[in-house]
Chains A and B, each alone.
Chain A
Amino acid sequence: MTDFLAMGGYGAYVWSSYAIFVVALLIDFLAPRLRRQRVITDLGGRLKRQRKRQEKSA
């Protein structure tokens, strides 16, 4: 196991590369989800306000 982690002395280089890969893709996975949440909250609020205004004027 220690041999595996050491990567023939290049452990720091190899593992940091793989960490960058995984973290970057994780961010890529989360980014559209967070934006979707924000868009839905915004849109939901706007639609509710719209409906209230319509009820008042009716």
Chain B
Amino acid sequence: MNTLTLWFHQFGSPPIFHRVTARLSPWLYASATLIGFIGLYGGLVLAPADYQQSDAYRIIFVHVPCAWMSLFAYFFMAINAFIALVWRIKISEILAMASAPIGAVFTAITLATGSIWGKPMWGTWWTWDARLTSELVLLFLYVGVIGLYNAIEDRRQAARAAAFLALVGIVNVPIVHFSVTWWNTLHQGSTVRLLGPSRIDSSMLWPLLLLALATHVWFFASVFARARVSLLELESGKDWARSAVLGPGAAHD
């Protein structure tokens, strides 16, 4: 086995995952916060006002990164749900279930800030157009996964049932992404594009990309923090969990 595969296998072992993420977690939170503050400073202070939307456009710096995260978190959840269903890997079950509440938070921020942006620019808080409705469905999918996971007593069975729902719901992700091109919507099309030039000035682009990076790092910090707790709960009968709770030396007596 090469080093990378070996490392990956070890990362799947609950005690090693618990220990490695403990060391990783503060760095992830700290760097996400630091990058986020630089991005916020760039977006709120350094970036100029928009010629059309004046300062109202600054909502983009929280709205768009959170919207990207709402899809990224779902993608991450679905991949782990797939691994959990096919190979029954415990860590994947836990990672999938840990990403659901974070995705729900990012989706809720996206909907709330989008609504607040829509009021002054479109003249309405809400409209049933393709982008807004599919993003709302995304929130319902997250809530459904969380609800199903908590409704079943056995943690592993619950995770598998919820993972199945998560996997079925992935059909909504491309719908959210392409909704602005497939249908006529009030929502504008993509401003930042991976293929081809972005339709945004670089003075506004760099804070946006920094905040996108910050929210991605934040996601992993949060998903690890949540997964560690679930793992401790799930493995509470094992020696490693006992020594993690009571301190080393308490495991065998």
B152 contacts partner chain A, Cβ-Cβ < 8 Å: no
Asked if residues A8 and B49 are in contact (CB atoms below 8 Å), the reply is yes
Interface presence of B16 (CB below 8 A): no
Mostly helix, strand, loop or mixed at chain A's interface? Answer: helix
Contacts of B17 in A (CB 8 A): none
| Number of cross-chain contacts by CB at 8 Å | 93
Complex: A32 Cα to B14 Cα, angstroms: 17
For the residues of B in contact with A, the DSSP-based class is: helix
Closest to B66 in A: A21
Interface size, A (range): 20 to 34
Q: How many of chain B's residues have a CB under 8 angstroms from any CB in A?
A: 39
* A24 in contact with B246 (CB, 8 Å): no
Contact A14 B245 (CB under 8 A): no
Are A10 and B56 in contact (CB-based, < 8 A)? Answer: yes
User: Contacts A16-B116, A47-B245 given: A8-B62 contact, CB under 8 Å?
Assistant: no
Q: What are 8 A-B pairs with beta-carbon distances under 8 A?
A: A7-B54, A10-B55, A10-B120, A20-B113, A20-B116, A31-B226, A32-B222, A36-B229
What is the interface of chain A, defined by CB distance below 8 A to chain B?
4, 7-10, 13-14, 16-18, 20-21, 24-25, 27-29, 31-33, 35-36, 39-40, 43-44, 46-47, 51
